[in-house]
Amino acid sequence: MQGGVKLAKSQAEVREYADKILGKLLVTHQTGSGGKIVGRILIEKASKIAKEFYAGIVLDRQQAMDVFMVSTEGGMEIEKVAAEMPEKIVKAAIHPGAGLRPFQASRLAFALGFSGAQHKQAVQFLMALYRAYRETDASLAEINPLVLTEDGQVLALDAKMNFDDNALFRHPDIRELRDLNEEEPAEIEASKFDLNYIKLDGNVGCMVNGAGLAMSTMDIIKLAGGEPANFLDVGGGASAETVENGFRIILQDPNVRAILINIFGASCAVTASRKGHRSRAEAGRRKTAGHYPLGRDQF
């Protein structure tokens, strides 16, 4: 199913669309080709829209600053706007010590074409959005569409926010909103053992200590013609149990045909110890890169 936004003109149509969407596979640019099963539906009052806009804040790691982006091309995917009409995106870099300044919000509101009373509303809205972004330790806050209604109101009709996992201990209210049904089961399992694991689409499993080394290891696999099956950082102080659980989670992926282990430093003995305790049946079922080197043509 493509297109998860429906306009219903009656309660009967609301039920009809809900029946068609709930439990179905939704494929969008954000979900990727694999799509996501729809488990919940947001129902909101329709607005008489005069104009749609985009507003979003994201962390720019290269500049080490948050960046506020706005566009007059609201209601469509911002990735598509960036690819086809980059000139339609106006940005403002926000210094972490100063925060979003009123003059910056004013410039962004003018860039969207607001004037008069609507300009004042838009400035207040943009400032409030930035406060919400900072106070929740978010890494993304996106309003799409931000609209101007026919009666002159500036409203947010849809919102998306991502939060920094490392700061969730400060936000128990946000942690309670976590929906495990929307997450990769292997990643949920890994989080129980403090493993930094992200599932990918390749067939070469990776076990590495250190995020930077893990990224470099994946680059090496790509350079050799392979595709990494996961990102897995066991950490510098990994215990035998941590490593064992890491192996178990990697081997749960049916696509994994080999495992590349790249451990630097004191964790080497722990890793070797846990490898030695793996059962013969499991070792026979899967090959590890350390025992069966693969050439470029075997990936």
247 and 282 in contact (C-beta within 8 Å)? no
Residue 36 parent element (H or E): strand 36-37
Answer yes or no: 197 catalytic: no
Q: How far apart (Å, rounded) are the C-alpha atoms in residues 99 and 78?
A: 24
Task: Give the Cβ contact number of residue 164 at 10 Å.
Answer: 14
Closest CA to 56 of 94, 113, 110: 94
CA 155, 157, 162, 168: dihedral to nearest 10 degrees? 70
- DSSP letter for each residue of 143-162: EEEEEEETTS-EEE--EEEE
Answer yes or no: 135 catalytic: no
Task: Give the Cβ contact number of residue 218 at 10 Å.
Answer: 23
Structure tokens at 72: 């007059």
The residue type at 96: P
Exactly one of 73, 142, 197, 244 is catalytic; name it: 142
CA 188, 192, 193, 195: dihedral to nearest 10 degrees? 30
The residues facing 138 across adjacent strands are 163
Exactly one of 54, 130, 133, 197 is catalytic; name it: 54
Closest CA to 227 of 254, 205, 252, 249: 205
Instruction: Return the active site residues.
Output: 54, 142
